[in-house]
Amino acid sequence: MLDAITPIHVAGWIEEITGTHSAPTVKQRLAAVRHLFDWLVVGHVMQANPAHSVRGPKHSRKRGKTPVLAPEEARQLLDSIPTDTLIGKRDRALIGLMTYTFARIGAATGMEVRDLYQQNRRLWVRLHEKGGKQVELPCHHSLETYLDHYMEAAGLRYAPRAPLFQTVSRGTKILSGRPLPQQDAYAMIQRRAIAAGISTAVCNHTFRATGIKAYLKNGGTLEKAADMANHSSIRTTQLYDRRSDDVSLDEIERILI
């Protein structure tokens, strides 16, 4: 019965379940259908994948949608976080980690204390990124300071298996032992941005994009940025390359009216 399914059937299904959705959504759902049939072929339920020859809409993006901070804004935000409390030290260390290592929020909040280690007289971080990939990077000197201050205040140096970034128990102002959920990190970032007077919209991914932009703007290469960010393709890294923004603004300002 399944072998009677043809590419025409698959194309009709995709049209029905996507309706007027954008091209990226259509491509994502078509990819999901292809993976489903691939699984059925591997399991010998079907002889061929009928979705293989179905082509989705053309979609090409040269610039990512993630909001990116200017270096001055990023510095303003980091400097605005009060560090006279444990929560402040934790928040500054988390935002600094994502900015200086290009870490995804999942890799950052998933870190354990043992993922910080000394090597060649420098603090290093070990990130467990998506796809099971492991990235190890030396810390920028500012990030090293942020992490040292947080670790000292939190008393985590002798708890290697403990989550690095933890929630804080209400009323006690001490670490709970539970990892900080991504939604809590997002809420924290929103609060910190508002308190710092940042008008740019920010999200968990903003600091990864901000770090990549600053790196490229200061002479970094796309190849190295892709390695550091754990991108499988340089094309993905190019979405974070906002160096042309400054050129565009200069050109717009030539319209003297």
Residue 248 to residue 239: CA distance in whole angstroms: 16
Provide the b/e sequence for 194-226 (b: ≥16 CB within 10 Å).
eebebeeebebbbbbbbbbbbbbeeeeebeebb
Q: Dihedral sign for Cα 71, 72, 77, 80, please.
A: positive
Helix (H, G, I), strand (E, B) or coil at 197: coil
- Would you state the pLDDT for residue 96? 96
- The total number of residues shown for the chain amounts to 257
- Would you state the pLDDT for residue 10? 62
Q: Which residue reads 């990023």 in tokens?
A: 74
- Which homologous superfamily is 71-245 in? Intergrase catalytic core (1.10.443.10)
Q: What is the pLDDT along the chain (257 residues), one digit of tens a residue?
A: 556 666 666 666 656 655 555 666 677 777 888 888 888 888 888 788 887 777 766 644 555 578 889 889 999 999 999 999 999 999 999 999 999 999 999 999 999 999 999 998 899 999 998 878 899 999 999 999 999 999 999 999 899 999 999 999 887 778 999 999 999 999 999 999 999 999 888 999 999 999 998 898 888 888 888 888 888 788 888 877 766 666 666 666 676 66
Beta-carbon count within 10 A of 68 CB: 22
Neighbouring C-alpha atoms within 13 Å toward the C-beta of 220: 22
- Would you state the pLDDT for residue 63? 56
- Would you state the pLDDT for residue 37? 81
- Would you state the pLDDT for residue 92? 97
DSSP code, position 180 = P
